[in-house]
Structure 1
């Protein structure tokens, strides 16, 4: 299928792109209603593809397909499941360029280099045959006690649009590695990469019905997943507001749930910080994916002694960020859609109205390259008070707020003073400060001299407070998709010999 880019470039042909279909039971089908949704390129609003506008009826069909596939997939030995995931990973790497271009166009981001989805699949595949139970002590020698870890059965997931490929892998891979069958709904703004990944999974030999991808709006197809009584576990990544709705729906069926929600990540900068390292990293951290990352370090909590210097250096660095469409050699692309564009510009106005100083940015870039795209300038606010909305609420855009503080205790109070607790960063060369702050900050990930948290292989990712609960990507990610059964066994009683 041909995917159109902006007016100034040729059409890019990506064979993996699918149009008008979703995956249910190994078949590429339209929605039962026959309705579709347009997927557009956010750099120019041109049509990329159309996807099925599904609803609860389509989700029911996907659940039935998953139920049919489950017994054989559950009973397949774990090493064989792992080998299929390894084959999937190989295909993902072979098609890495196509997947990268596809996601870049539907999300609007510039190239980040080769995607890491293959390596994440291999990490997860390696856990599939490491799922083990425990031997339990017993009261008598003729008894045996042990635990089994078993899959839930049919499970569901809802993923957002900001990184659709990695999000798809992070939910689907551990779930099916554990022996579950998955029904997943990608975001209607960016469903093409998940569909392409599902296509490669089928080519790898993962049986029909193990992975089912249902497309559509959240209120129609998405809500049907946590509301479905035969979906036994759910994973959701998105906003706290939607996460609460998903949790309410799951509660009615007592469905276990993992939530990965938003963030308002602080970056605490001490006087001894190496600003030559910190400033470029902080700038990249808030402009990567146009700030549409839950872990984005959107608040700079800086010691007053270096406040002025940091403001000046950050402003100069942010002014050097190149903005443009996905195919250009740029650092930052557009926002995902008109709603998000309006939201980010609205928060910029809220900051101005509250008395924060716009040091740089604050508007929409002009020029032929930007056309009808959803672009916004990288924006730096100074002298932000901790109670301002731009310092409390997740903007999900390239907007950075600087909050000066007088000492470590105040820095901790400000850093922890939001409803979120996803990621926090500390910039210091003092080991004692780094240790104290790592313990005191309320966040699921703390990075020392790192803008986006730990950044290690196999680091569990998840949040505190309103940033959600549960963890992905770690060594226990497959175990999280299993349930524990205790078995107590006594041997047959042998009658005494006469």
Structure 2
């Protein structure tokens, strides 16, 4: 069952075989035969039917990855680098399909390309550069050194908001280091992940090195970190689910990387250049309809300029075009009816708490919107730091405006949630930028910008309830290795003859 989007005549069935996922080099249905309909959130039409895998499918995938591991581990790092480079090149050739496929299943307007080829290519360049160190010794007849070795079979749970890039950022370093992987994509948006696995297969990456099992979180998702064959785990998602994944990993003493939620502050000081700040604030809110853990959804503004900033942000939002991915728009729908309901409930919560809606605040209706999950970009003014809309991750296009009178108060508000993923500081003063950047508790701090796209290999990860560990950097490949110490002592001249 596939549908064709009239705007582009793009049929998902030309890229992927219905009701199959990848285990051990074979595209197979779920053992128990269940299926999931992947829908277009702009229209609610079914894009493709995929298997609903469970514990038995995870067992088969882990077995396949376990079988493939010794050969892949012993493959020359230079050969692994070549295979990843081929994968990156195939992704580059099919960047349009990758971008469109993710746009269709997530609802995000097309970006005109895909970051995936560059992500995989960056890691390919590191595959043959993983080195240990030599260690000083007390005696000249002793040699001490360290080796970096892969863990074995690694599990990866990918979220639905940016599935392609996040799968590439996780799987590429894992296999570059010599591990094999089992990926569990989100059931709402598994198609880009499946297509990436298909391109990896076409690139020549051996069977069993990359396995993909689609399924619901309570079934395949729960089975993966609990499986005794998994030796390292990665999860991106909510703190609540992350805690459950961590508990499962603890039972088998599995090392874990967690990338969790955020409630990122954007601190606008009195000397900020609003011509730069306002467009970035709006883009951060509307990109992927605010369904991004790094979205700057708390706007902290010096009280003396609040009226001007709020007016400028609302004016900019008035120009934001909302609609289906295939139209020339700036923002698309939310991913699902469940997510739409969540965001609408938070709009009611904000009003009940006493915050004032100054822009948006409603579900969009009309011919273009009635088939999908569209909510207007929303600005709440007069928000207090303790309100739920200022504390909890909404994961939608909802901006909370808070005010401060001095830097100390700005820092208190910025650090006053359980999260610590991203923060942005807008100021014309280098002194203020340095002070605030050092004091904000976040894994990434941006000054007069929002995002790290201009920096190559910037580590990404959070503090506190935003998780731990870093991805998208040179260190990510090292995180998929464990250190072995090797001590060699000479004990004579060896055997004669």
Give the C-alpha shift of residue 130 in structure 1.
0.8
Asked if 1:12 corresponds to 2:10, the answer is yes
Contact in 2 for aligned 1:445/1:454 (Cα 8 Å): no
**What is the aligned-residue RMSD (CA, Å)?**
1.4
Structure 2: how far apart are the matches of 1:496 and 1:54? Answer: 58
**Aligned match of 2:366:** 367
Give the C-alpha shift of residue 372 in structure 1.
2.0
Give the C-alpha shift of residue 410 in structure 1.
0.3
> 5+ unaligned residues in a row in structure 2: which ranges?
none
**Aligned match of 1:320:** 319
SS in structure 1 at match of 2:458: coil
Deviation readout 1:34-84 (Å, 9 max, x if unpaired): 110110000111111111111111001001101111111000110100000
**Aligned match of 2:298:** 299
**Aligned match of 1:274:** 273
**Aligned match of 2:157:** 158
The 3 A distance-change label for structure 1 pair 485 and 435 is: same
SS in structure 2 at match of 1:466: helix
Q: In the TM superposition, what are the counterparts of 1:321-360 in structure 2 within 5 Å?
A: 321-360=320-359
**Aligned match of 2:489:** 490
Give the C-alpha shift of residue 12 in structure 1.
1.5
The 3 A distance-change label for structure 1 pair 454 and 51 is: closer
Contact in 1 for aligned 2:361/2:378 (Cα 8 Å): yes
Structure 1: how far apart are the matches of 2:337 and 2:45? Answer: 13
Give the C-alpha shift of residue 113 in structure 1.
2.0
Contact in 1 for aligned 2:263/2:294 (Cα 8 Å): yes
Give the C-alpha shift of residue 433 in structure 1.
0.6
The count of residues paired between Structure 1 and Structure 2 equals 495
**Aligned match of 1:394:** 393
Contact in 1 for aligned 2:108/2:333 (Cα 8 Å): yes
**Aligned match of 1:434:** 433
Q: In the TM superposition, what are the counterparts of 1:416-431 in structure 2 within 5 Å?
A: 416-431=415-430
Deviation readout 1:88-131 (Å, 9 max, x if unpaired): 00000100111111111000111112111101111101111110
Structure 2: how far apart are the matches of 1:203 and 1:111? Answer: 25
Structure 2: how far apart are the matches of 1:106 and 1:20? Answer: 16
Structure 2: how far apart are the matches of 1:206 and 1:377? Answer: 44
Contact in 2 for aligned 1:344/1:395 (Cα 8 Å): yes
Give the C-alpha shift of residue 496 in structure 1.
13
> 5+ unaligned residues in a row in structure 1: which ranges?
none
**Aligned match of 2:188:** 189
SS in structure 1 at match of 2:476: coil
| TM-score, scaled relative to structure 1 | 0.97
Q: In the TM superposition, what are the counterparts of 1:371-386 in structure 2 within 5 Å?
A: 371-386=370-385
Structure 2: how far apart are the matches of 1:390 and 1:495? Answer: 73
| TM-score, scaled relative to structure 2 | 0.98
Deviation readout 1:412-432 (Å, 9 max, x if unpaired): 000000000000000001110
Contact in 1 for aligned 2:8/2:326 (Cα 8 Å): no
Q: In the TM superposition, what are the counterparts of 1:7-406 in structure 2 within 5 Å?
A: 9=7, 11-14=9-12, 15-406=14-405
The 3 A distance-change label for structure 1 pair 435 and 296 is: same
Contact in 2 for aligned 1:18/1:192 (Cα 8 Å): no
Contact in 2 for aligned 1:26/1:207 (Cα 8 Å): yes
Contact in 1 for aligned 2:44/2:372 (Cα 8 Å): yes
Give the C-alpha shift of residue 19 in structure 1.
1.6
SS in structure 1 at match of 2:475: coil
